[in-house]
Amino acid sequence: MTETHLSQAAYDRLKTELDDLTTRGRTQIAQQIERARELGDLSENGDYHAAKDEQGKMEARIRQIEALLKSAKITEAPDDAGHVHPGSVVTIRYEGDDDTETYLLGSIEERHSDHEVMSANSPLGSAIVGKAAGDVVEYETPTGARLKVEIVSVGA
């Protein structure tokens, strides 16, 4: 199983969400299903089918969060802040391109409002971990293409 890098804040938020879904959420959906059953014929009962659909989505989210928390590694700011690590905000420039792109290296669960998130386990993410601003890295995409990127800056 691949470990997931999470900040302490993201871990705490996911733990709170899981606790809410497994208590209040399950109780609430069970009540919705019970009310819908009272309406009669389940084969043509839209409320019942909608509640069962919602229950399925909620249970899938519960399993997803449980798996994330089980494989989570809390990311702390490293002593060597000048190098790329999970939790870094990294600005890169693809070879031959004038524009730069900025990413938060970590889990999609970080939900950073200012930057898109790049997984540390992705081909590009794993290629830039440990590198510093000014380094040029070559990596292979899932389609087999080889691309070069320059690390323009690394921040927290």
| Euclidean distance between CA atoms 136 and 147, whole angstroms | 10
Residues written for the chain: 156
Note the pLDDT of residue 109.
Answer: 79
| Euclidean distance between CA atoms 127 and 7, whole angstroms | 21
The secondary element (H helix, E strand) that includes residue 66 is helix 46-70
Q: Which of 2-11, 47-56, 132-141 has the lowest mean pLDDT?
A: 2-11
Question: pLDDT-based confidence at 110, cuts 50/70/90?
Answer: confident
For 19-72, the pLDDT digits (tens) are 999 999 999 999 999 988 888 777 778 888 899 999 999 999 999 999 989 988
